[in-house]
Structure 1
């Protein structure tokens, strides 16, 4: 597809519920609601789950990095980390080796809890993906990544 081909403006309709931004936010809210529902059954929130996923893949991330990656403020990220630490799902050193960053890592219980909940969360994502033709899933992911890049400046 030629990316230089002009497209119709998103406000081509007076009905705001048909604008691309509105539809994107509606899809995001539906995804968040579905994730909230399955995670609640496991005693986790979306930011807590996201933090566990990220630390499983990238152990040692700082609070600031985790907050950015999970779309919360640094203050909220710190609350999430404290809650996960109090629950025994992550460990952080009591003091920072240098600066203020205290790198976090999953505990054995954190790995177990993550493995327990992943299937439920992945099933939500699969339901979402199943709603579109298979060939469009890859294109949609690329489109969404481009949108984020353009808007992030």
Structure 2
């Protein structure tokens, strides 16, 4: 008899944790796909929206600070920020104390477009999160924060 047939093999997809993780990743991709589609009429991408949200909440950040908040490399910011600037959504101002540092701010048009995008985003979030009870939603959020913290420490 073939050795392969004699020994039962355990596969990752037989593990409930693996199956649940894959389900969560698929759900995240489906949400990202839907958000990408919903933001298209506003001429925005998800990465641009993330940057704009952070600039709205923390105006005057440096490019380095924004990259750190978004958990991306500065090279990502080097590509992203000119796109926002070209659309008239972002402006850069020299730091008063250190002329080498540029501070980032949303323009009035950037804030207007962000408010439109947030309406789209929150509608999608509500639609998705209505699939769970408030308690399930809280547990899911707690778990994702624990995972983020655990991986941040490593």
Normalising by structure 1, we get a TM-score of 0.81
Could you say which structure has the larger radius of gyration? 2
Give, in whole Å, the separation in 1 of the partners of 2:20 and 2:99: 43
Compare the two structures and name the one with the higher helix fraction: 2
The 3 A distance-change label for structure 1 pair 95 and 86 is farther
2:82 pairs with 1:59: no
State the Cα distance separating 1:14 from its structure 2 match: 2.2
Give a deviation string over 1:85-127, Cα, whole Å, max 9, x none: 1111111026885274311011111111111221111111111
Give a deviation string over 1:32-63, Cα, whole Å, max 9, x none: 11111111121000011111111111001122
Q: Which is further off, 91-100 or 118-127?
A: 91-100
2:23 pairs with 1:27: no
The 3 A distance-change label for structure 1 pair 30 and 98 is same
Query: What residue number does 1:6 align with?
Result: none
Normalising by structure 2, we get a TM-score of 0.80
Give, in whole Å, the separation in 1 of the partners of 2:135 and 2:151: 25
The 3 A distance-change label for structure 1 pair 17 and 147 is closer
State the Cα distance separating 1:132 from its structure 2 match: 0.8
State the Cα distance separating 1:16 from its structure 2 match: 8.3
Instruction: Provide structure 2 residue ranges, at least 5 long, that are not aligned to the other structure.
Output: 1-10
The 3 A distance-change label for structure 1 pair 110 and 32 is same
Instruction: Provide structure 1 residue ranges, at least 5 long, that are not aligned to the other structure.
Output: 1-10
Give, in whole Å, the separation in 1 of the partners of 2:13 and 2:22: 12
Are the counterparts in 2 of residues 52 and 114 from structure 1 also a CA contact under 8 Å? yes
The 3 A distance-change label for structure 1 pair 63 and 117 is same
Query: What residue number does 1:42 align with?
Result: 42
